[in-house]
Amino acid sequence: DAMVIQNPRYQVTQFGKPVTLSCSQTLNHNVMYWYQQKSSQAPKLLFHYYDKDFNNEADTPDNFQSRRPNTSFCFLDIRSPGLGDAAMYLCATSRLPQGGETQYFGPGTRLLVL
Amino acid sequence: KQEVTQIPAALSVPEGENLVLNCSFTDSAIYNLQWFRQDPGKGLTSLLLIQSSQREQTSGRLNASLDKSSGRSTLYIAASQPGDSATYLCAVSPIYGNKLVFGAGTILRVKS
């Protein structure tokens, strides 16, 4: 089945230690998104890629970076995680970056910062 | 700036009851509205998508309505079951782009 896969499902890191979260998709979608969802809060878009074109949200901290080496994979890098970065990180894909396009979400990676 | 609010924040009902979840948004210039389900510790599953030109969408026991002029949507769940227990989130997609703006969700518990 076509799907969005996130690895790992749970990630524990230390304060200030760089961490990378992975997302892959078999849907062959052009757009990949990263959302941050803190406990009991709404998911918040960090950035998205449309093909190789990177689109950062204005309020995304510089501490968060992303890479998309090919259509299938997208990575979220947190350069120096703080305690406030503990959250569920959701990856999503869509065919096109326009209204009306359904976004398909992965299972998420829960990040714990010690 | 678009803001999405969901009421109530949590809801507990006995099995078999019909229930309504509410979602309101501040900017009516939307392309569509989606309802998602999120199980504990899991990702999001899309339940229903309503285009701005539509009034409602139905899937099984779920019915979602949209009143763009008043900035409101409701998700109606008929004959609730314990398996319906989850967090339900609504999200709006603005006219331009595909940036979803989410509400914080309603945590639903259906007791057997």
Q: What digits encode the pLDDT tens for the residues A4-58?
A: 999 999 999 999 999 999 999 999 999 999 999 998 899 999 999 999 999 999 9
pLDDT at B55 > cutoff 80 = yes
Cα separations (Å) of B9 from B4, B22, B23? Answer: 13, 10, 11
**What mean pLDDT do residues A108-112 have?**
95
Mutation test of the interface with chain B: which of A37, A55, A95, choosing the one with the most B Cβ atoms within 10 A? A37
Q: Is B100 on the interface with A (CB under 8 A)?
A: yes
pLDDT tens column, A51-88: 999 999 999 999 999 999 999 999 999 999 999 999 99
Token pair listed for B72: 């409101």
Token pair listed for B18: 């019909």
Three-state DSSP at A84 gives helix
Which H, E and C letters describe A30-73, residue by residue? CEEEEEEECCCCCCEEEEEEECCEEEECCCCCCCEEEECCCCCE
pLDDT at B66 > cutoff 90 = yes
* Residues in chain B closer than 8 A to A98 (CB atoms): 97-98
Q: What integer pLDDT is reported at residue B94 of this predicted model?
A: 82
CB contact under 8 A, B44 and A101: no
* Residues in chain A closer than 8 A to B103 (CB atoms): 42
Burial of A105 (0-12, 13-18, 19+ CB in 10 A): buried
Q: Is B42 on the interface with A (CB under 8 A)?
A: yes
In chain B, % of residues over pLDDT 90: 77
pLDDT at A92 > cutoff 70 = yes
Q: Are A22 and A90 in contact (CB under 8 A)?
A: no
Q: What integer pLDDT is reported at residue A1 of this predicted model?
A: 65
pLDDT tens column, B82-98: 999 999 999 998 877 66
Token pair listed for B86: 């989850």
CB contact under 8 A, A103 and B95: no
